[in-house]
Amino acid sequence: MTRSIDAIIDDFDLLDDWEDKYRYVIELGRELPDMADGEKTAGNKVNGCVSQVWVVAEPGEDGTLRFRGDSDAHIVRGLVAVMISAMSGRPPAQVVAFDAENLFKRIGLDSHLTPQRSNGLRAMVERMKAQAGAMTAA
């Protein structure tokens, strides 16, 4: 079970050192349920990430979306967990409108990730928003 985004934000606020925050992101990634190898397809792959990243959106019975994802890199897998926590459980329109940049600033990711990781994170967010937009249109 993934943590709520509010709990993740609170935990980030408690950690002063960026080494501790990186360890926390890795811990979040370890808590992420494994994705079946059969789902790690080109259709689920996030383009624009240096690491291998896959994201799947599924509609919930209550009109919200549930995201699942995985990565082959520890920190990136943790970033996948953060974004799943932020975006899952929202209606598709809220996912499309979600201000990920504000979240990145709030927890400090905007200034502590390499440019390549930041670009990959943005690509993952755009992929999640595109999946939500497709479900809104359907």
CB atoms within 10 A of CB 20: 13
**What single-letter DSSP state applies at residue 90?**
B
The 3-state DSSP class for residue 91 equals: coil
Catalytic residue, from 28, 32, 49, 132: name it: 49
**Is 49 tagged catalytic?**
yes
Three-state SS for 32?
coil
For the record, the structure tokens of 38 come out as 């059969």
Active site residues: 49
